[in-house]
Copies of this chain bind each other. A is one copy, B any other.
Amino acid sequence: MINKVVSGADQAVHDVTNNSTLMLGGFGVCGIPENCIQALLKKGVKGLTCISNNAGVDDFGIGLLLKTRQVRKMISSYVGENAEFERQLLSGELEVELIPQGTLAERIRAGGAGIPAFYTPAGVGTEVAEGKEVREYEGKLYLLEQWLKADFAIVKAWKGDTSGNLIYRGTARNFNPMMATAGKITIAEVEELLPAGELDPNHIHTPGIYVQRIFQGSNYEKRIEQRTIIKD
């Protein structure tokens, strides 16, 4: 088997340059590549275009890269509660492209699957449809949407093996598997890195063919945005 292991986050992102397009896995701050975000902060690359469903919070996740003004453009479905984000957006420092969540997920899948365009009903008749082709199938209208690809896809998994196979956990899976397919270089950070052969081939969510670099991350905070509980 092909060995994809790198020493850590710094080595994994060593060739990310200014003005790169990155995909970053996660929904809210659930399932985000915490270690790689820290390494990008440290590296200080600027002018990034980040494709990510959300933009983190003020002091965690992609919010950290916003604070240091490393991000030029966000491509997201929902940019949530983030005061610094709002300030940069209103001042024109930050560009934002909003895409319906299902269209975003499917465009990323299409990027990885070699499908340049597909029809979807989401956004028909809304401002999302502006400038897009519309076509009717079986009496319903659909928009033509194109694939999304990135220079680097940075994903977070639960378990991984040395040949790059990945298994996610719970709803931390979210956008990670599609993004893993759509990067020219795909970097995976995992909570537990195992020798090839330790993961059941039948349970693998992301086959290793999509992953160029893998490492075991550390010090995961795994922050919770909305801690909703009932009494014990």
Hey, which bits of chain A sit against chain B, CB under 8 A?
A: 106, 110, 113-121, 135, 137-138, 140, 142, 146, 167-170, 202-203
Contact = CB atoms under 8 A, between A and B. Distances in A.
Contacts of A202: 167-170, 203
A1 B209 CA distance: 36
Contact of A118 (B115, B140, B203): B115
Q: What is the oligomeric copy number? A: 2
A138 B137 CA distance: 26
7 contacts: A106-B113, A114-B121, A115-B119, A116-B137, A117-B137, A137-B146, A203-B203
A106 B116 contact: no
Contacts of A110: 118
A119 B117 CA distance: 6
Give the dominant DSSP class at A's interface: mixed
A119 B121 contact: no
A116 B119 contact: yes
Nearest to A113: B106
Contact of A138 (B106, B116, B118, B170): B116
A146 B118 CA distance: 10
A114 B116 CA distance: 17
Nearest to A147: B137
Contacts of A119: 115-118
Contacts of A203: 202-203
A142 B116 contact: yes
A118 B121 contact: no
Contact of A117 (B118, B121, B170): B118
Top 6 closest A-B pairs, CB basis? A116-B137, A118-B118, A117-B119, A116-B119, A203-B203, A115-B118
